[in-house]
Amino acid sequence: MILLNVPRTRRRRLGVAAAAGGLLAALLTAAPAAAIPDPGDAPPASKEMSKSAQAEAREAIAQGEIPAQDEVVHSANIRHVAHVPKDALPGTNSDLAFQGRYAFAGNYDGFTVYDISNPKSPKTVSQVLCPGSQNDISVSGDLLFLSTDSSRSDDSCNSTTQPVTEKSSWEGMKVFDISDKRNPRYVAAVETACGSHTHTLVPEGKNVYLYVSSYSPNAAYPDCQPPHDGISVIKVPRKAPHKAAVVGFPVLFPGEGPDGGGNPGGPTNPGVSKTTGCHDITVLPSKDLAAGACMGDGILFSIKNPERPKVIDRVQDNVNFAFWHSATFNQKADKIVFTDELGGGGAATCNAEIGPNRGANGIYDVVGKGDRSKLVFRSYYKIPRHQADTENCVAHNGSLIPVKGKDIMVQAWYQGGVSVWDFTNSSKPKEIAYFERGPLSTDQLVTGGSWSAYYYNGYIYSNDIAKGFDVLKIDDRRTDPARGVHVRELNVQTQPDYFD
């Protein structure tokens, strides 16, 4: 293990070999994260790299410009306190949720429950086999929710993949009773149009609402017809989850024609995804607000009526954003960080050839009040360390670190690792800590790295696609005040009001 006090600065030419191979041109037409139809639940196939890219990666390791293969490195203010390797679920690790002394980790093959009462020694409590990518996960009280975005033969945990063109195929939301963490019990399923790539909890008293994000309709798909220009809303009675049902499909992008009124994508906007739904939504219930990352559009909307969300403002970035992937409010709700998943999460975009703006976060100020609020772009943020062309790397899932009066975020970057950064000044974001591993391979682009990195009650938890579950501890005067802030439950896409 190597501790580094400052970011490496010699890695500025990584990716030059890719320029000759036309990587940037390929990324401009690359597809976003797999949605419908899904090729199955196996991890993405590795891609053999050119000899020049292989040589460049090995030379960068030899010169100390990047970590050695699978080597752990981090800034001096972060400690790697625990690691739990993958066990019974070999699929792709995905999102995380938290409740009390438990962490819940999604995996394309199901989910794992960890006891994190001692963060330095997490224990596996149970593992549930229930295949269905991407098994985006959240918890509320005694209920756990899983998103299924691959076409299945039925809604059971014994289902197999089946063509999306068959009417009998199933995709949507699964509901589990987790009152007994050692024995989660499958209690309900709700089919949704185009499946459920991700979902967001909107808790409201006796009910839980789920905003289901999905996309990529096709006239040949019986249950995923265009225009798919909104989200499915599911209502789940807490005491009777078996009665969960879709209660609406609010249209967020009204417009004429078969595709609705979202971003048309190419050829009008080359390199930008056409908006046919949303990828992810984050809600801030204390402010009755939500932010949607919707393929070619970013939106701000009101959720005063959770069954009928209302769009307040909408923005596009047709120069540097390829695929609006996720959103995070700051605590005051006067800023939103949108992420761009350039290359769909399976490409090397953290190199010199791609540059600092593409595949980055976009930081927007929320200017004005109520329904007159506007999103105003301020700056981009991308990790300052170049990665090898054998490392998939792009902005991914993160959360606030609750420091009053400051805007600090921890974020996953796949094989770019975990970055802690400060955006208190919207126009001048800066990294203050990081953790990463060296490339999984110097010969092939193998998909791996941190899918989700979240701060929960004093520690940072990361779900690594290929390696497993990591626990980090940050010791820094800028983040130390967060140690005194604890929450009972955390679903990052349902942001708590830490200081209310």
List pLDDT tens digits, range 74-129.
Answer: 999 999 999 999 999 999 999 999 999 999 999 999 999 999 999 999 999 999 99
pLDDT in tens, 142-160: 999 999 999 999 999 999 9
- Residue 181: count of CB within 10 angstroms of its CB: 17
> According to the model, what pLDDT value does residue 45 have?
72
Pairing of strands 110-115, 123-129: antiparallel
- Please determine, for residue 253, whether its predicted confidence score (pLDDT) is greater than 50: yes
Per-residue pLDDT band for 427 (boundaries 50, 70, 90) equals very high
> According to the model, what pLDDT value does residue 259 have?
74
**Considering only the top CATH level, what class is 2-490?**
mainly beta
> According to the model, what pLDDT value does residue 5 have?
38
Per-residue pLDDT band for 500 (boundaries 50, 70, 90) equals confident
User: By three-state DSSP, how is residue 370 classified?
Assistant: helix
Instruction: Give CA 485 to chain center in angstroms.
Output: 24
Q: What are φ and ψ of residue 179, in 5° steps?
A: -60, -30
Residues in Cβ contact with 13 at an 8 Å cutoff, skipping those fewer than 6 apart: 352, 386
Q: Which two tokens stand for residue 474?
A: 């940050």
Going 386 to 389 to 390 to 391, the CA torsion angle's sign is: positive
196: nearest Cα among 129, 112, 281, 109: 281
pLDDT in tens, 335-352: 999 999 999 999 999 999
Q: For residue 285, with 0-12 CB atoms within 10 Å meaning exposed, 13-18 middle and 19 or more buried, which class applies?
A: middle
Name beta bridge partners: 293: 280, 298
175: nearest Cα among 194, 148, 152, 195: 148
- Residue 302: count of CB within 10 angstroms of its CB: 17
In angstroms, the Cα distances linking 65 to 8, 101, 232, 422, 440 are: 7, 39, 46, 25, 16
pTM: 0.94
Judge contact between 134 and 147, C-beta under 8 A: yes
